[in-house]
Structure formats: C-alpha cells, structure tokens
Amino acid sequence: MKHTVEILARGVCMKRGKVLLCQTHGAAVTYLPGGHVEFRETARQALEREIREELGLPSRAGCYLGCIEHAFRQRGRWHAEINLVFELRIPGLKSAAAPVASESWITFRWCPLKDLLQDQFEPAALADSLPRWLRAPGGFETSGDWNASR
C-alpha cells in the first residue's frame, strides 16, 4: 500500500466573530472550507477554485496564516495531510444564514471562533492556533500521531 501526504488549501472566512465551517454529510467532524492543491496550481488558486466549486461563488484567498501537518485514522486507514491556511474573502456570502453548498456531499455553517472544539473541529490543534494566526500570521502546528501513520 502506497502512502502519500495530501496538500490542502484551507480558508478562514470570518463574519461577525464566526468562522465558516464545512462538514461532509454523515461525518461528525467539521473543517475549514477548501481542498486539494492540484498539480501546477498554487495554494491560493486551489482555494479559490474549491470555493467556486463548493459554494458557486467567487472568492479571494488573502494573507497566508499558517500551516498545520495532520495525521489521522479514517475508516481504518491512516491519512497524512499538510494544510496551508489563508484568510478567505467571499464577497457574496451573507453571515446571517448558512450558505447553501453547490456540491451535494457537503454542508456549511457558521461557528463562533471560540467554540470550534465544541463543533468537533479538525484538526483540533488548529482551534487554538487560529485566533493567534489571525493576530500574527505565519504559524505552524503538527497534529495527530505521525509516528503511528508509518
């Protein structure tokens, strides 16, 4: 079995103290919107493309906030990913209501930044880092058990 490390671009879209979260139907965890960086695509381009696909709206990937390495088990298999996190602006998005996803396998909702862990947010270490990164960009974290994923 070949193991790979996935590279993901994630966005922090804030409105009135709340952050936009994504959730896969049937899954308990929530996460920042975004997705895989494709070959010959920058992380910012990937984030903007993913938001266009997931929400059907144009967006702007802004300031680089930080990086988090994350290793986890899902359905009995180890996964490893590098998440590149950026500020994200989605001009057409209203904060009052949960945005409607363009893709049928996900939903979106707003969560107060201080309540991320109560919303089963992953990677969990990012819940503590995000407020710091928003004040002073350029952070780095490692989350999960990288040794067990070998």
Task: Please give the span between the terminal C-alpha atoms of the chain, in angstroms, as a whole number.
Answer: 11
More confidently predicted of 2 and 67 = 67
Which region holds residue 118: left if phi is over 0, alpha if psi is between -120 and 50, else beta? Answer: alpha
Does the pLDDT of residue 121 top 60, yes or no?
Answer: yes
Does the pLDDT of residue 106 top 90, yes or no?
Answer: yes
Per-residue pLDDT band for 64 (boundaries 50, 70, 90) equals very high
Strand order in the sheet with 60-74: 34-36, 5-12, 77-89, 60-74, 139-144
Per-residue pLDDT band for 1 (boundaries 50, 70, 90) equals low
| Gap between the Cα atoms of 53 and 71, Å rounded | 26
CA within 13 Å, CB half, 120: 7
Per-residue pLDDT band for 97 (boundaries 50, 70, 90) equals confident
Domains present along the chain, CATH in parentheses: 5-144 (3.90.79.10)
* Confidence (pLDDT) at 96: 73
Interval 26-41: pLDDT, tens: 999 999 999 999 999 9
| Gap between the Cα atoms of 4 and 71, Å rounded | 11
